[in-house]
């Protein structure tokens, strides 16, 4: 990116350090980003409480390990949606450099369809599992396991919706990040 003016020196003639931060822009983060962050913060607080009760007070709280496991699961499954929206899942784009452009476009569209089908299938399977395990409780904490599965269901449903949005955007644009990784999408799909 070319700038008209030269950047200000970090250290001036007298040896003083000068720098400025870019303004913070939080507009690119959507609901699932903040929800995943919320679960992560709760996880950090839970693990900190576990550390304090185990090593400082020497009277470990039994419930913290189980809750930490479930909070980690919630963090990951909600973050799947944010990753799908930004097309940041692990993918291999080397093959697209070897294929002709038309074949790469077809394969990329097929990948979009498979991604949508995968997440939609995960929604259906999670719903089925929730129905079968409706009476199960957590081991130590007397709460239904469907609370955790409900968060997983939410994550998969959001990931399905975000994958549809990404596929639609790829179709309108005429290429995906797989075909042109040098043009990776930095803006968020909203």
In a domain, 13, yes or no: no
In a domain, 25, yes or no: no
Please say if the pLDDT value at position 4 is more than 60.
no
In a domain, 19, yes or no: no
In a domain, 12, yes or no: no
pTM, full prediction: 0.79
pLDDT score for 8: 61
Question: Given its phi and psi angles, is residue 15 left (phi above 0), alpha (psi -120 to 50 degrees) or beta?
Answer: left
Beta bridge pairs of residue 144? 137
Print the domain residue range for 124: 31-183
Number of domains in the chain: 1
Q: Helix (H, G, I), strand (E, B), or coil: what is residue 144?
A: strand
In a domain, 7, yes or no: no
In a domain, 104, yes or no: yes
Q: Do 154 and 146 form a contact (C-beta atoms < 8 A)? A: no
Residue pLDDT, tens place only, 135-177: 899 888 888 899 999 999 999 999 999 999 999 998 998 888 8
């Amino acid at each position: 990116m070319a700038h008209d003016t030269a950047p200000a020196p970090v250290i001036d003639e007298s040896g003083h350090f000068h720098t400025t931060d870019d303004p913070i822009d939080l507009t690119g983060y959507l609901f699932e980003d903040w929800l995943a962050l919320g679960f992560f913060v709760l996880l950090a607080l839970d693990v900190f409480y576990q550390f304090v009760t185990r090593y400082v007070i020497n009277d470990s709280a039994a419930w913290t390990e189980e809750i930490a496991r479930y909070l980690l699961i919630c963090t990951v499954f909600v973050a799947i949606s944010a990753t799908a929206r930004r097309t940041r899942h692990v993918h291999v784009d080397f093959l697209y450099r070897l294929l002709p452009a038309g074949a790469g476009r077809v394969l990329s569209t097929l990948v979009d369809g498979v991604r949508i089908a995968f997440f939609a299938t995960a929604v259906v399977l999670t719903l089925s599992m929730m129905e079968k395990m409706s009476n199960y409780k957590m081991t130590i904490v007397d709460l239904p396991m469907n609370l955790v599965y409900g968060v997983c269901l939410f994550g998969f449903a959001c990931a399905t919706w975000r994958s549809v949005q990404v596929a639609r955007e790829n179709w309108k644009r005429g290429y995906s990040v797989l075909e042109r990784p040098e043009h990776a999408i930095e803006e968020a799909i909203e």
